[in-house]
Amino acid sequence: MHITTYGHLGLNCLTPEQRARTCDYWYTVTSRNAAYTAFRTREALDFFLDLHGIAISSPIPRDYGTWAHIPLVGETRQVMHGDSAQMPASGRRVLHMSNGDYTLGIAVPDDKGVVIHFVGPSAERVVFHHGLARAFQDAGHKGSIPAGFENLG
């Protein structure tokens, strides 16, 4: 099993002009100054930070649209599997964006934090309805992934 680690993370809080050039994201996260992930809501960002145990080095602006760059303390780790039989049998079910699809991630704690396991795009895998999954993510993953999201791609 190969764990891919994303470190040297930074959070960018975008202005309305910057947001207009994205998919309505207010927050972007970089790893080693390269694009890594992005969020449309503070709730989704907070879920990501909490899930991975990432700390912020200074406060996030209260209001959307206030520019800031904030170094993050921590890292994310993930494992891409070749088929669903290789996925862990237990762990927290979360949405994971992979190759433009919302797919199933299994968050498994270990001695270094959390590892997100998912099935890669070349294999048969669970794909969630994009609109429903995006709304669930934007709400901060409140509760379990609702039934009926799967394989509606």
pLDDT tens for residues 30-40?
999 999 999 99
pLDDT per residue rounded down to tens, the chain (153 residues)? 789 999 999 999 999 999 999 999 999 999 999 999 999 999 999 999 999 999 999 999 999 999 999 999 999 999 999 999 999 999 999 999 999 999 999 999 999 899 999 999 999 999 998 888 999 999 998 777 877 676 554
Long-range contacts of 61-67 (CB under 8 A, 24+ apart): 61/13, 64/26, 65/14, 65/15, 65/16, 65/19, 65/26, 66/13, 66/15, 67/12, 67/13, 67/14, 67/15, 67/18
Read off the pTM.
0.90
